[in-house]
Amino acid sequence: MNKETRRIFYQRLAGLDPNPTTELNYSTPFELLTAVLLSAQATDVGVNKATKRLFPVANTPESILALGLEGLESYIATIGLYHSKAKHLLQTCQMLIDLHGSEVPQDRASLEALPGVGRKTANVVMNTAFGIPTIAVDTHIFRVSNRTGLAPGKDVKVVEEKLLKVTPGEFKLNAHHWLILHGRYVCKARKPECWSCVVNDVCDYKSKQITPPPGR
């Protein structure tokens, strides 16, 4: 994929959804941080079900801490790895209170210093909560970047660096969301739905199936 086809790629995804956002439900940066922290190896749908119960009761660092470990776990027990996530979230809440006045920091170093927060989570929070043009590479974005030829790389860090380099400036803010949604609903892991893909003519995937299977 070259410079021109990359621009076409993003233009078409933008045409489908001019203002994309995360599918995690949140109303504050702290709620987003909590939801993203809980979403590791879990679906957004599953996280939203848990936070729908949790956030009306506790949606600040202080109120989460007040629940205690068992109390917090009772709200998120339906999410995978809930025990370690609960511990990390409580530790994160304490650090936010002690070091950041209960506010979610906007810089990468401070975010990555929080327990359970890695580079991907920090990128999501920076991009979605604060409008910083970062690109968090999850399994969907890694797959789409390599399969289509948009920004191939052997690991997520390489793909992230390539995406930031080759993505035109006007698309960087929303690229993260466009690529996730494209990977989640069209460029799927096992059976990409190339026949319904708006970028199939500029994609480098050699095994694309343009004709829909029977019944589709």
Does residue 162 carry a catalytic annotation? Answer: no
Residue ranges of the alpha helices (H) in the chain? Answer: 3-16, 29-38, 44-54, 61-76, 82-100, 108-112, 119-130, 139-148, 156-166, 172-185
Residue among 17, 52, 85, 120 flagged as catalytic? 120
In which element (H, E) is residue 142 found? helix 139-148
Please state, in angstroms and rounded to a whole number, the distance separating the CA atoms of residues 80 and 142: 22
Q: Which residues lie closer than 8 Å to 17 by C-beta, 6 or more apart?
A: 177, 178, 181
Which of 49, 52, 138, 201 is flagged as catalytic? Answer: 138
The answer to whether 138 is a known catalytic residue is yes
Q: Is residue 93 marked as binding?
A: no
Residues that constitute the known binding site: 187, 194, 197, 203
Binding residues for [4Fe-4S] cluster: 187, 194, 197, 203
Residues annotated as catalytic are 120, 138
